[in-house]
């Protein structure tokens, strides 16, 4: 094979990477809907057991349909390996359990997916794991938080819901000096907008439920990184068993073919909507890394190719005003989640944080009039027109 002279573009990779394996000559990779794999005879089984033969054995450990998806995402992320999981939460929790010793220390950021926070508080505490929480952009606090026994620094980038962007090269430099690994939840960016492994991260986690799948029709998760880093994670997945059904793996593969194409539209829609909302008299504040008013705009512009479709904003008014706005939206569905072709709108105070006491919500910066909009791939003019009519209800 001739060596390619330049890196193929993301659209070409999203379509072709990981495919054309020559096994069945099917253009579309088959769904290997099987729980187990048969052996010709005991001699083959022995050859496999002794590590002289590489093949599939049992459906909790590997599946040919998974492999196509894993190779495609590895190619896009610039990773050596990827592991698929049944959900983003399974990907994160399995990774944490795989890497953490009893009593280990981690550093996390305060703006994060609520279930990740809950896992750390409720379950990692049983392993006597200690977590230090810092502000996302505060690399000085990161430096102070690191200890000799700090196993990893884990953060989303961009974070949820305030879309804070980490100065990853700087954070990785600080962590690696102390022998601490860096794990990035890249769900809000995707490898099209941001490739954390190129900028110093050791592992990148995704809720593939969001942009990677992209159609609001599946739940899945992924972890990508170097072969050495991935090995314990893959082994832990085989034990903990949070694996993806082969049919869902196929749906993810199909979604990922249009990832680069979809992200172009999500990026354009996010920016257009953020600009339209900023300065609107009924909107108090817009949080979007593509706006000069965002605290991490400079870092985000340097590290990212686009800022995706999620726009978080505060309605000028109280809870009732924000409810009137949300109920008046006709294009976005009122629903949790993000990153699909259909626009979704949610009020964090009523959804992710409804069961938190008001003081705690406030501590996490979740105000009553906060709205999180995930722009789909609709026409920007239609989204903006709809938001403007809904704002007249405030
Ligand atoms: C949705 C989400 C998760 C959880 O993923 P699931 O696929 O729903 O389990 C984790 N991190 C982020 C940033 C998310 O948006």
> Does 185 qualify as catalytic in the annotation?
yes
Torsion of CA 254, 256, 257, 259, to 10 degrees: 140
DSSP letters spanning 265-312: HHHHHHHHHHHHHTT-TTEEEEE-TTSTTSTTHHHHHHH-S---SEEE
Q: Is the CB of 340 under 6 A from ligand 1?
A: no
Structure confidence at residue 386 (pLDDT)? 98
Terminal C-alpha separation, the chain: 62
Decide the pairing of beta strands 150-156 and 181-185: parallel
Residue nearest to atom 5 of ligand 1 (CA): 88
CA of 89 from ligand 1 middle (Å) equals: 6
**This prediction's pTM:** 0.95
- CATH numbers and ranges of domains, the chain: 10-256 (3.40.640.10), 259-391 (3.90.1150.10)
Structure confidence at residue 3 (pLDDT)? 60
Token look-up 């997945």 returns 237
With beta carbons less than 8 A apart as the criterion, state whether 116 and 251 touch. Answer: no
- How far apart are the C-alpha atoms of 84 and 88, rounded to whole Å? 9
- How far apart are the C-alpha atoms of 167 and 148, rounded to whole Å? 22
Q: Is the CB of 346 under 6 A from ligand 1?
A: no
Q: Is the CB of 202 under 6 A from ligand 1?
A: no
Structure confidence at residue 77 (pLDDT)? 98
Measure Cα distances from 308 to 40, 139, 156 in Å. Answer: 49, 24, 14
Structure confidence at residue 4 (pLDDT)? 59
CA of 184 from ligand 1 middle (Å) equals: 13
CA of 254 from ligand 1 middle (Å) equals: 20
CA of 177 from ligand 1 middle (Å) equals: 30
137 cis-preceded (ω within 30 degrees of 0): no
Q: How confident is the prediction along the chain (394 residues), in pLDDT tens digits per residue? A: 456 578 899 999 999 999 887 778 899 999 999 999 999 999 999 999 999 999 999 999 999 999 999 999 999 999 999 999 999 999 999 999 999 999 999 999 998 888 998 999 999 999 999 999 999 989 999 999 999 999 999 999 999 999 999 999 999 999 999 999 999 999 999 999 999 999 999 999 999 999 999 999 999 999 999 999 999 999 999 999 999 999 999 999 999 999 999 999 999 999 999 999 998 999 999 999 999 999 999 999 999 999 999 999 999 999 999 999 999 999 999 999 999 999 999 999 888 777 778 788 877 788 899 999 999 999 999 999 999 999 999 9
> Does 60 qualify as catalytic in the annotation?
yes
Alpha helices by DSSP H, listed for 5-113, are: 10-16, 42-49, 64-77, 88-99
Decide the pairing of beta strands 310-315 and 283-287: antiparallel
Residue 98 dihedral angles phi and psi, to the nearest 5°: -65, -35
> Does 149 qualify as catalytic in the annotation?
no
> Does 210 qualify as catalytic in the annotation?
yes
DSSP letters spanning 304-349: -S---SEEEEEESS-HHHHHHHHHH-SSSEE-S---SSS-EEE-TT
Model confidence pLDDT, tens digit, residues 198-233? 999 999 999 999 999 999 999 999 999 999 999 999
Nearest to 82 by CA among 250, 208, 214: 208
Structure confidence at residue 111 (pLDDT)? 86
Structure confidence at residue 1 (pLDDT)? 45
Atom number of ligand 1 nearest to Cα 92: 10
Given 10, 67, 113, 250, the catalytic residue: 113
Q: How many helices (H) and strands (E) does the chain have?
A: 15, 12
Q: Is the CB of 209 under 6 A from ligand 1?
A: yes
């Amino acid at each position: 094979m001739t060596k390619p002279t330049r890196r193929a573009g993301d659209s070409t990779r999203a379509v072709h990477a990981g495919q054309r394996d020559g096994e069945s000559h099917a253009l579309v990779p088959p769904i290997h809907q099987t729980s187990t794999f048969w052996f010709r005879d005991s001699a083959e089984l022995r050859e496999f057991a002794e590590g002289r033969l590489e093949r599939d054995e049992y459906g909790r450990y590997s599946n040919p349909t998974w492999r196509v998806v894993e190779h495609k995402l590895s190619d896009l992320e610039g990773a050596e390996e990827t592991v698929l999981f049944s959900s983003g939460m399974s990907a994160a929790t399995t990774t944490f359990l795989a890497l953490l010793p009893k009593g280990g220390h981690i550093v996390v950021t305060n703006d994060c997916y609520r279930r990740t926070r809950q896992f750390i508080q409720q379950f990692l505490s049983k392993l006597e794991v200690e977590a230090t929480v810092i502000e996302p952009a505060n690399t000085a606090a990161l430096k102070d938080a690191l200890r000799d026994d700090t196993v990893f620094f884990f953060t989303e980038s961009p974070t949820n819901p305030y879309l804070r962007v980490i100065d990853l090269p700087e954070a990785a430099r600080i962590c690696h000096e102390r022998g601490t690994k860096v794990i990035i939840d890249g769900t809000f960016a995707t490898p099209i907008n941001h490739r954390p492994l190129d900028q110093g991260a050791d592992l990148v986690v995704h809720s593939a439920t969001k942009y990677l799948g992209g159609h609001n029709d599946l739940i899945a998760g992924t972890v990508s990184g170097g072969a050495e880093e991935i090995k314990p994670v893959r082994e832990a997945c085989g034990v903990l068993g949070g694996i993806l059904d082969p049919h869902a793996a196929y749906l993810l593969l199909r979604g990922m073919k249009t990832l680069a194409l979809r992200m172009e539209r999500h990026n354009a829609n996010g920016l257009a909507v953020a600009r339209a909302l900023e300065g609107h008299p009924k909107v108090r504040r817009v949080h979007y890394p593509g706006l000069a008013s965002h605290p991490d705009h400079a870092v985000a512009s340097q590290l990212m190719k686009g800022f995706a479709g999620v726009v978080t904003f505060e309605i000028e008014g109280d809870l009732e005003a924000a409810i009137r706005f949300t109920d008046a939206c006709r294009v976005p569905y009122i629903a949790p989640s993000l990153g699909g072709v259909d626009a979704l709108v949610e009020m964090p105070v009523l959804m992710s944080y409804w069961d938190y006491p008001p003081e705690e919500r406030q501590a996490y910066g979740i105000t009553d009039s906060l709205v999180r909009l995930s722009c789909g791939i609709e026409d920007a003019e239609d989204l903006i027109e709809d938001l403007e009519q809904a704002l007249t209800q405030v």
